[in-house]
Amino acid sequence: MFHLNTFAMKHYKYFVGIDVSKTSLDVFIHSLNLHRQLSNNRSGYDTLIRWLSRSLETDDLSRVLVCFEHTGFYSLALSVYLEEKDITFAMVAALELKRSMGICRGKNDRVDAQRIANYTYLHRQTLQPTRLPAKAVLQLQPLLALRDRLVRDRVGYYVTQKEQRRFLLPCQLDGLQDAYANVISCMDAQIKRVEQAIRQVVEDDQELKQMLELISGIKGVGFLVGVYLITYTHNFTRFATWRKFACYAGIAPFEWQSGTSVRGKTKVSPLANKQVKKMLHMAALGASRGDPELSAYYQKRLAEGKNKMCVLNMVRNKLVARVFAVAARKTAYVELMRYAA
């Protein structure tokens, strides 16, 4: 199952940095110090290929490595186009690019494209080319993002309604509570519609459906948690090990020590996908109550004096390890305590 984004190491000769914005692409070729601005649309992408071929004096672009910032849907169409043309590209997190640039004074799109091209050249041995996930996973990503936003907004309206009911004067509440109730009811209906659309996407893709059925057999991993894990791991092809995903989700502990004076606590990093971390937290709460093995482990660690949140984080890691093991084997999870003497 773990057919990761592994590529035979190519000897790239040309390194291209692209600064992606809503309407334009600023392109910079590292070795030639050439810059051009193009439209961020299909016509602009066609022009990009022609310009690269003319500038590099070759129609063979197999030794070109293109790099640009992951800007969400602004860079999606470019990614799809480059993959169609079989041009190697790497989408890099914005924070990774920002921290690699050192001390910067001022900025513009041309300079940013040049800095990205320099980054590509300097990291040419370690930069991992990007492969887009399956179509079904691409469909799930905006649906999950919309659901998150609806749930967050619903909570905001609900809390405001509750507080106003408690503190406002009766004359101020006329018509107000009904309006809030209607908004919340509408959001509930929309959340259900989005969740139904998510279910339909999974149902229509046999591979995702089978994977979801397998990992949902692990206590604590329900439908939504399973869909989140499948989506953000690209159906378990994005991360080499469960520990790498734990790092991405912000549940892997890291030391904070240096020399003889810095002796901080070992703790998780705030650089994480917070939504995935939240879903794993809910899964850990359920598993620590409903799974006999994890429940016993949870109680044992608490009895040893461990902090409750620390123990829950241990449970989160154990759940992730189980999910990745099931995904790798493609067999259902077996509860060993059921067969214990």
Same domain assignment for residues 239 and 331: yes
Q: Phi and psi of 290, rounded to 5°?
A: -95, -15
Higher pLDDT, residue 149 or 341 = 149
Same domain assignment for residues 326 and 237: yes
Helix axes 223-232, 206-215, angle to 10 degrees: 120
pLDDT (0 to 100) of residue 10: 66
* 27 burial level (CB within 10 Å; 0-12, 13-18, 19+): buried
d(C-alpha 104, C-alpha 278), whole Å: 34
Higher pLDDT, residue 341 or 269 = 269
Q: Give yes or no for residue 2 having a pLDDT over 60.
A: no
Higher pLDDT, residue 7 or 261 = 261
Torsion of CA 94, 237, 129, 240, to 10 degrees: 90
Nearest to 141 by CA among 277, 208, 22, 234: 234
Same domain assignment for residues 145 and 111: no
- The SS3 of residue 106 is coil
Q: Give yes or no for residue 53 having a pLDDT over 50.
A: yes
Decide: 8 and 58 in contact? Cβ < 8 Å: no
% of the chain with per-residue pLDDT over 90: 84
- Provide the number of structural domains found in the chain: 3
- The SS3 of residue 161 is helix
**Residue 196 CA to chain centroid, in angstroms?**
22
Decide: 74 and 52 in contact? Cβ < 8 Å: no
Given 97, 122, 147, the domain boundary residue is: 122
Same domain assignment for residues 63 and 107: yes
**Residue 134 CA to chain centroid, in angstroms?**
15
Q: Give yes or no for residue 3 having a pLDDT over 50.
A: no
Instruction: Kindly state whether residue 187 falls inside one of the protein's structural domains.
Output: yes
Same domain assignment for residues 231 and 334: yes
Give me 7's structure tokens.
């590529």
- Helix residue ranges, H only, the chain: 42-56, 73-84, 94-100, 109-122, 135-167, 170-173, 176-204, 206-215, 223-232, 242-249, 274-290, 292-303, 308-329
Higher pLDDT, residue 260 or 300 = 300
Q: What is the mean pLDDT of residues 298-321?
A: 96
pLDDT in tens, 228-267: 999 999 999 999 999 999 999 999 999 888 887 888 888 9
Same domain assignment for residues 173 and 247: no
pLDDT in tens, 60-96: 999 999 999 999 889 999 999 999 999 999 999 999 9
Q: Give yes or no for residue 5 having a pLDDT over 60.
A: no
pLDDT (0 to 100) of residue 190: 98
Domain of residue 187: give its range: 136-204
Instruction: Kindly state whether residue 147 falls inside one of the protein's structural domains.
Output: yes
Those residues whose C-beta lies under 8 Å from the C-beta of residue 124, and which sit 6 or more positions away, are: 12, 15, 65
Q: Give yes or no for residue 111 having a pLDDT over 90.
A: yes
pLDDT in tens, 153-179: 999 999 999 999 999 888 888 889 999
pLDDT (0 to 100) of residue 116: 97
pLDDT (0 to 100) of residue 258: 86
Decide: 114 and 28 in contact? Cβ < 8 Å: yes
Same domain assignment for residues 318 and 247: yes
What region does 249 belong to: left with phi over 0, alpha with psi -120 to 50, or beta? alpha
